[in-house]
Every structure is written in structure tokens, then in C-alpha cells.
Structure 1
Amino acid sequence: MSEENINNRKDAIAKLKELAEEIDFCFFCTNIKSEQSDSTPMSVQEVDDEGAIWFLASLDSNKCENIKADSAIQLYFSSPKDFKFLAVTGDADLVRDEKRVDRYWNKMVEGWFEKGREDPNIILIRVKPQKAHYWNTKHHKLLSYALTMYSAITGNKNDQGLHGEIDIPN
């Protein structure tokens, strides 16, 4: 497996954006310093140009209460069918931005809020990543499968994987 570490801010944000938006769903973990962390599946709304990852949430949720108490979070993205994985550590804060909520609003999101778009509990979570680690393939999924099968049959080493650290300097 080849290693690629990305320390340049622009490249780091581009890689983070590519993987997080493509995989979309993650386990959003709060209360991570405790033995009983709280993990919730959540969908990414956007990775902005500064590298912040945005989510929609309900202000009265455990997730938001946990963020108020301790902003440290972890995100775990997984797309096994595409051999893509991403782990992110950072800090989260709660943001009111009606224009951004309007931009993200859709029928899928509407199902989570009793009062629809006018629900007063709608809040944005902004995650400011500090570090991330990713794993994915160098090749298309079908070629990756073929190379894995070839490696299994021949016993030759298969170096189709790629992983690395993403450091997002402030």
C-alpha cells in the first residue's frame, strides 16, 4: 500500500472535499473523551473552501448538547464498495445561518424536522478538521478487484491501495 501525506492547505482541503462529499454519510462522534462516546450517522451538506464540513441538525439533539459541552469530534466515513475510507478529527460548533440552511434544504432533510423549514430547532454544525487519515484505491473498483484476484492467484504483492494523512493547517 502506497502512502501519500498531504500538508499543503489547498491540496489537503481538496482531498478532504473529494472524499467527504463523495462518501457523504459518516458516523459523527461526540463525547469522544468519555468511555461512552455518542455516534450518529449524518450526511455531509458541504465541505467549504476553508475545509469546514457542514451538517444540518436539530438543536435539541444529544449531538448538539454534546458539542456545547465539548467541541472535540471524530467523523468516520466508509464506502467499502468503492474501497474509500476517511477518519477526521476536529472541533465542531453550532451556527445559525439561514442562507446556508436554505441552500442545503431539500425533501430528504425536511423529513427530520416536524415543522419543516420553519422549525426553530434547525441548526448547522460546522466541523473544523485538524487531521484526517484516508484509505482508497489507486484504480477503478473493477480493476482493483481484478488486481486483488490476480495477486491471490499468483502470490504477487498487490500494491493497489493508497493511504495517507491529511493535515489541515490553520
Structure 2
Amino acid sequence: MTSSEQTTTAGDQDRERAHLVELMEDMPIAMFTTFGTEGPRSIPMARQEVEPDAEMWFITARDTAHTRALGHDASVALTFSSRDTWVSLTGKAYVVDDTAKLRELWNTFAEAWLPGGPEDPNAVLIRVDVEKAEYWDTPGGKVASLLSFAKVKLTGDTYDARHGTVEP
């Protein structure tokens, strides 16, 4: 591969990453899947930051099954969705005791689950280091989705969606 091909590939990845971040701005809730000793288990969790090329943060309780599962296997899968966009991320997740970071990320949503605040000894962070991300996006939103479905029914062609993969 020539250096110009590598530059193009890196540029494409940067554009895909930026598009992915933009898509996720309105998707705060993930189905967070762990792979502990009891097998896969998915729960809804609110993400605190969106930067797939860095880390994602979640606030949770220390005494939960999903937190314990990470002690056995750090692998996680996260899925996000909206009316016309779907995102799937995989990576490694770690329980992090960092009260300063917990205070920085604390919000009223976390308060509802952990009323003791960021100083609650049961409050803890989960940091997910994203290894791979995929998205499926229907450009144009709901109207474009309806037109694509109509096209499928009338012509037999496949559904028009944009698909991308992002790897750090």
C-alpha cells in the first residue's frame, strides 16, 4: 500500500468516526452486554460521553451483576438505536474508582439510581475502551426510511442504508 493510500484510508476512518460520533449524540441509552460466568446479559445503561476513538463512561452501582461480570470477562458489546440509526460497539470495560471523574460526570439521571451522590461508596464508574464500532444509518430520516421501504416493496431492491465500520 502506498503512503497516499494509507492517508486516504486514515482520512476515511476519520470521516467515519466523526459521522459515528454525530449519530450517537442523540442516543444516550445503550444496551450494555457483559459476558460473565452466567453467560451474556444485557441491561440498559446511560452513557456519559461520546468519543468512540477514546473511552465511553457509565455510572453504575458497585454491587450489580454487570459490574461483577466485568471481573470475570472485560469484553462488552454496546448497542444504541434511534428511529433510523443503529450503532454497535465492542470493547473492553473496566470498573474505575475515581471520585473526581464521578463528580465530573454526575447528573440527575445518576442521582435517581444512586441517591447518595458521587460520594456514595456503592457509586462507581465503568470505562469502556472501544475496539470496534459499526453503524447503520438511513440518510434523510423517517421520510427517507419510508421511501426506501416502499422501493423495496415495489422493485425488490434492497433497503437504502449507509453502513460503516470504525476501528481505532
Q: TM-score range by the shorter chain?
A: 0.7 to 0.9
Match of 2:164 in 1: 164
Matched, 1:19 2:8: no
Q: Normalization by structure 2: what TM-score?
A: 0.79
Say if 1:16 and 1:51, in contact at 8 Å, map to a contact too.
no
Stretches of 4+ aligned residues off by more than 6 angstroms: none
- 1:51-130, aligned counterparts within 5 Å? 51-79=54-82, 82-130=83-131
Per the TM alignment, residue 56 of structure 1 is displaced from its structure 2 partner at its CA by: 0.5
Could you give the per-residue CA deviations for residues 26-67 of structure 1, whole angstroms, max 9, x where no partner exists?
1111116x6721211101100248421110011111111111
Secondary structure, counterpart of 2:25 in structure 1:
helix
Q: Distance in 2 between matches of 1:166 and 1:50?
A: 9
Q: Report the number of matched residues.
A: 160
Say if 2:149 and 2:159, in contact at 8 Å, map to a contact too.
no
Per the TM alignment, residue 23 of structure 1 is displaced from its structure 2 partner at its CA by: 1.4
Secondary structure, counterpart of 1:144 in structure 2:
helix
Q: Normalization by structure 1: what TM-score?
A: 0.79
Change (3 A) 1:14 1:95: farther
Secondary structure, counterpart of 2:69 in structure 1:
helix
Say if 1:24 and 1:43, in contact at 8 Å, map to a contact too.
yes
Q: Percent identity?
A: 31
Q: Distance in 1 between matches of 2:154 and 2:113?
A: 51
Say if 1:31 and 1:37, in contact at 8 Å, map to a contact too.
yes
Secondary structure, counterpart of 2:113 in structure 1:
coil
Change (3 A) 1:96 1:21: farther
Secondary structure, counterpart of 1:41 in structure 2:
strand
Where structure 2 has 5 or more consecutive residues not aligned to the other structure, the ranges are: 1-8
* Greater relative contact order, per chain length (Cα 8 Å cut-off, separation 6+): 1
Q: Distance in 2 between matches of 1:37 and 1:158?
A: 32
More off after superposition, 41-50 vs 89-98? 41-50
How large is the RMSD of aligned CA atoms in angstroms?
Answer: 2.7
Where structure 1 has 5 or more consecutive residues not aligned to the other structure, the ranges are: none
Q: Distance in 1 between matches of 2:38 and 2:17?
A: 31
Per the TM alignment, residue 153 of structure 1 is displaced from its structure 2 partner at its CA by: 6.5
Change (3 A) 1:8 1:98: farther
Q: Distance in 2 between matches of 1:147 and 1:37?
A: 34
